[in-house]
Amino acid sequence: MLTTRREFLRNSALASTLLLVPKFLHALDRGPGLAQLRDAVGARRLIVVQLSGGNDGLNTVIPYKNDLYYKARPTLGIKETEGILDMDKDLGLHPALKGLKGLYDQGELAVLNAVGYPNPDRSHFRSMDIWQSGSGSDQVVSTGWLGRYLDSNCPDCQRPYNALEIDDTLSLAMKGARRKGLALKTPDKFHQITQNRLLSKVSKEAAPQHQDQVDYLYKTLAETASSADYLYDKSKIYKSSVTYPNSDFGKNLKTTAELINSGVESRVYYLALSGFDTHVRQHEQQQRLFTDLGNGLAALADDLRQHDQWNNTLVLVFSEFGRRVGQNASNGTDHGTANNLFLAGGALQKKGVLNDAPDLANLDQGDLRHQVDFRSIYASVLKDWLGADDTAILGTGFERLPGLV
């Protein structure tokens, strides 16, 4: 019997009166952990969406009133007549990003232009490494920025499921020196793996207290198995009826919403949408990916809003680099530098287009110059949204953007 938690609450409310609903249902309404999470000062949830492959930011947030844009992209530039979704500062969203435009219109989207880092690296792998570790391009760091957040003594980060990646394997971003997040495709699949006969028995064995490698393995295994149990049980509470795109990304977003609305005590969610390496035939690819992205995020917002979870959620959307300003000979774009970054959520402090469009008249050898260091945004999110010690996690030198989140 599958009753959604919402229906359950509605029926309960109808059956009695709201005042008469037993206390435990009030608790259930928010989930015991989340009640705590929301009430704690600055305790909120972050969803990171990674656009893998280097999304072309100029055809995402389009400077459609700038001749230089069309000059650099005679056939690839998106024309106003194609249905550009108008925003502030003479910028417009790609026609396929209707979902994001909806959030923008509701004041639930913030756009940051020309985000990047000094001496940009145009290798997918290396640049993603830089974004995920939160390092400079001249540094090598083997932990991720969210992993170090887990390491940073935050009270809601003790358990592996406090940071979830919706995927088969865990990204560097989620790996700290002492603590790591947990990767799962769905709670069911994850739970099923731990139900292997031998594994389930071994995982219940205690680790001897020597703090050595074998302890570490047993401890990790035990935490994994108990997290799988927790997530499996918890996720049964709520099954979403919202329509998500019928794609891998859509399914992952749905899983995320179900976990959140079920009251899973996770501070961080990490998801990826891949396929943005658009050297050829960019039009078709972006059209498809953006439909997924926009509709997916709009559905997520809907789903969370229905359960009062959208106000304490912040979504951060980034890509490892943008593309070159000029189009190439194959109706695509090649690897570039700075890019736009989106923030979305029900309680954004700053809304709309937050800074000027990238300066197309002042390029660095055909590439955009960055205006905002991505680590300044990380610092703001860590400190002002998650209530963490940003300098301990990122090092010094990254000014927070006041009032961003």
Which stretch of DSSP H or E encloses residue 274? strand 268-274
Nearer to other proteins, 143 or 291 (CB): 143
CB of 150 to other proteins, least distance (A): 11
CB of 329 to other proteins, least distance (A): 6
219 neighbors 179 (Cβ within 8 angstroms): no
Residue 227 sits in the site that holds other proteins (CB under 8 A): yes
Residue 328 sits in the site that holds other proteins (CB under 8 A): yes
Report the alpha-carbon distance of residue 315 to residue 347 in Å, rounded: 11
Of positions 274, 284, 287, 347, contacts other proteins by CB under 8 A? 274
Q: With contacts defined by CB under 8 A, how many residues of the chain interact with other proteins?
A: 71
Report the alpha-carbon distance of residue 227 to residue 187 in Å, rounded: 10
Of positions 30, 102, 112, 121, contacts other proteins by CB under 8 A? 121
384 neighbors 316 (Cβ within 8 angstroms): no
Residues 138-197 that bind other proteins (CB under 8 A): 138, 140, 142, 160, 167-172, 175, 180-184, 193-194, 196-197
Distance of CA 96 to the CA centre of its chain: 20
Nearer to other proteins, 104 or 117 (CB): 117
92-93 β-sheet, strand order: 61-62, 92-93, 85-86
Residue 216 sits in the site that holds other proteins (CB under 8 A): yes
3-state secondary structure 223-258: HHHHHHHHHHHHHCCCCCCCCCCCCHHHHHHHHHHH
Determine the 3-state secondary structure of 335 from DSSP.
strand
CB of 178 to other proteins, least distance (A): 9
Nearer to other proteins, 43 or 341 (CB): 341
Of positions 126, 239, 288, 305, contacts other proteins by CB under 8 A? 126
Residue 52 sits in the site that holds other proteins (CB under 8 A): yes
Tokens of 324: 């070159």
98 neighbors 294 (Cβ within 8 angstroms): yes
| Among 89-97, 217-225, 339-347, 396-404, the segment contacting other proteins (CB under 8 A) | 217-225
Residue 73 sits in the site that holds other proteins (CB under 8 A): no
List of residues 6+ apart from 388 with CB closer than 8 A: 149, 152, 154, 382
| Among 3-11, 30-38, 94-102, 273-281, the segment contacting other proteins (CB under 8 A) | 273-281
Nearer to other proteins, 194 or 311 (CB): 194
CB of 260 to other proteins, least distance (A): 20
Pick the closest to residue 48 from 305, 343, 386 (CA basis): 343
